[in-house]
């Protein structure tokens, strides 16, 4: 089961990176609002609840609070994929936000 989860996570991240590359290619044709949103990044180990919720797609205040609580209980994130250990955060959310996440 763990192997299947890992494979799904890697596939999802690969798809997310492909979408990010595609979005970057069309970036120059898009609106300035779209380019500002794509450039925003957040540090999982330093950001507060509101910053996480604002920058990460698909993460509201409740999930952002869960990220901060996980970090307080378990220490700093060592890899982006560790975010999947937070309740409510799955491979799809990680893939959508991969380029926005800093450690």
- Looking up tokens 């798809």 gives 15
Lowest mean pLDDT among 14-18, 29-33, 35-39: 29-33
Determine if the pTM surpasses 0.75. Answer: no
φ/ψ (deg, to 5) at 80: -60, -35
Greater confidence, 24 or 76? 76
Interacting residues of 40 by C-beta distance below 8 A, sequence separation 6+: 55, 100
Tokens 């799955």 — which residue?
Answer: 90
Interval 47-86: pLDDT, tens: 999 999 999 999 999 999 999 999 999 999 999 999 999 9
User: Which domains does the chain show, CATH number per domain?
Assistant: 2-102 (1.10.150.280)
């Amino acid at each position: 089961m763990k192997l299947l989860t890992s494979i799904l996570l890697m596939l999802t991240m690969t798809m997310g990176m492909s979408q990010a590359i595609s979005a970057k290619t069309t970036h120059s044709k898009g609106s300035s609002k779209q380019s500002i949103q794509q450039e925003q990044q957040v540090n999982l180990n330093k950001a507060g609840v509101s910053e996480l919720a604002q920058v990460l797609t698909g993460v509201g205040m409740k999930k952002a609070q869960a990220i901060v609580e996980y970090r307080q209980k378990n220490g700093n994130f060592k890899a982006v994929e560790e975010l999947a250990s937070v309740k409510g955060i799955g491979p799809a959310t990680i893939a959508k936000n991969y380029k926005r996440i800093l450690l």
